Amino acid sequence: MNMVQKRHLIWIIMCVVAFSFAVMGPKAAASQLKTIQNSMGMTFVLVPAGTFLMGSPEDEPFRNKDEVLHKVTLTKPFYIQTTEVTEAQWNALMGRKWFSRRRSGNLPVVKISWYDCMEFLEKLNRLGEGRYRLPTEAEWEYACRAGSQAAYTWGKTIDCTQAMFANNSSDSRDCLDYATKRDLPMDGPAPVKSYPPNDWGIFDMHGNVWEWCLDWYGAYPSDSVTDPKGTPSGSQKVRRGGSWFKGASLCRSANRNFGHPASRYATLGFRVVREAE
């Protein structure tokens, strides 16, 4: 091999390596993120501290005015549950029959109020395995985006193969056929992890069931903020991510919604954050 051939070979190897990094980068990063499991069988992934743009640009389709784009820095890494809390996990911890008609232990728990979640978390914290709470709205959106600035974690649109939404025979029917083809329940959520995870290994942030967040619902600041916790008081708690009940646009990463903390809906559940030591 002469000098020119050698240089060519080195150049080709460098290109292949660079290309591999470009293609594999996010996935490699996701598989390297640390996960832990607690005694309730809940799995958590360690989300790194970082800065991101919360909210949506003004030209995002279906945007609402409350999605004011602003820079958020999260100074602490945290563990977020990779799935919504399931019925099995809820019942194992709460130890009483909250629900009479159980279909599958792996369905996300629904019809639980924000106050019910506080009870669950109090019990979970009493196990002495770590400090648990709901995600703040900022943590939720950061984890949902997993490094993406698009409307959905995978890009500008999502389809029926990527998340559970529009599975509603009386109203929003777009994904009914797909869900039925996969033997998923009609007019309700899918078992958790029925759809692909985002780049950080987190499932069902888009759709399936709405998720309670810690914050009171209120207007965003327009300036940069650090570790935001929402407005100090209010009457409605934030819920995020959309559900099986309605269309894709409510599942957008930036979409905000809210409910009275005592309200219980068949479309609304939660997932848990465990603080990193």
Residue 121's SS3 state is helix
Q: Does 81 bind Ca ion (CB under 5 A)?
A: no
CB of 251 to Ca ion, least distance (A): 8
CA 160 remoteness from chain centre: 17
Question: Which of 25/57 has CB closer to Ca ion?
Answer: 57
CB of 241 to Ca ion, least distance (A): 4
What is the DSSP-derived secondary structure letter of residue 85? P
Q: CA 72, CA 206: separation in Å to the nearest integer?
A: 21
Residue 170's SS3 state is coil
The one-letter amino acid code at 198 reads: N
- In the range 103-122, which residues lie near Ca ion by CB under 5 A? none
The one-letter amino acid code at 77 reads: P
Q: Does 136 bind Ca ion (CB under 5 A)?
A: no
**For the chain, what percentages of helix, strand and coil (3-state, to nearest 5) are there?**
25, 20, 55
Pattern 194-213, Ca ion, x by CB under 5 A: ----------x---x-----
Q: Does 241 bind Ca ion (CB under 5 A)?
A: yes
Among 255, 259, 267, 273, binds Ca ion (CB under 5 A): 255
Segment interacting with Ca ion (CB under 5 A) among 110-118, 131-139, 188-196, 236-244:
236-244
Q: Does 64 bind Ca ion (CB under 5 A)?
A: yes
Q: Does 153 bind Ca ion (CB under 5 A)?
A: no
CB of 70 to Ca ion, least distance (A): 16
What is the DSSP-derived secondary structure letter of residue 26? H
Q: CA 252, CA 151: separation in Å to the nearest integer?
A: 5
Q: Which residues are at the interface with Ca ion (CB under 5 A)?
A: 64, 204, 208, 241, 255-256
